Amino acid sequence: MQTLTYEFPADRPPARRTHVGVVGSGDLEVLMTPANGTARVRVRTSVDGFDTVWRTVLERFFARHPVSASFELNDFGATPGVVTLRLWQAIEEGRA
């Protein structure tokens, strides 16, 4: 089990907290809580050694979607596509 933390500049807080996905084989759970001025991401993953992949996926996502919130990502082997999808779902849910 590995825990990774990242911060990205962001200026668009969501309207509310969200919870999407599940912790299951090949999937990812995302918990998002509104915050001001930055996107803080904590990743708990069952797969060690993918720090560079996580950083790249998250940098690309937050460059396009500068949502200022605290994100908890609980991973059980999700692919980069699933990570992007779950993050997008969380911010869409947070717009309501």
pLDDT band with cut points at 50, 70 and 90 for residue 90: very high
Give residue-wise pLDDT tens across range 26-46. 789 999 999 999 999 999 998
Residue with tokens 């908890």: 72
- Higher-confidence position of 56 and 48: 56
Q: Is 62 helix (H, G, I), strand (E, B) or coil?
A: helix
**Looking at residue 96, what is its pLDDT?**
67
pTM for the model: 0.93
Cα distance between residue 23 and residue 85, in whole Å: 15
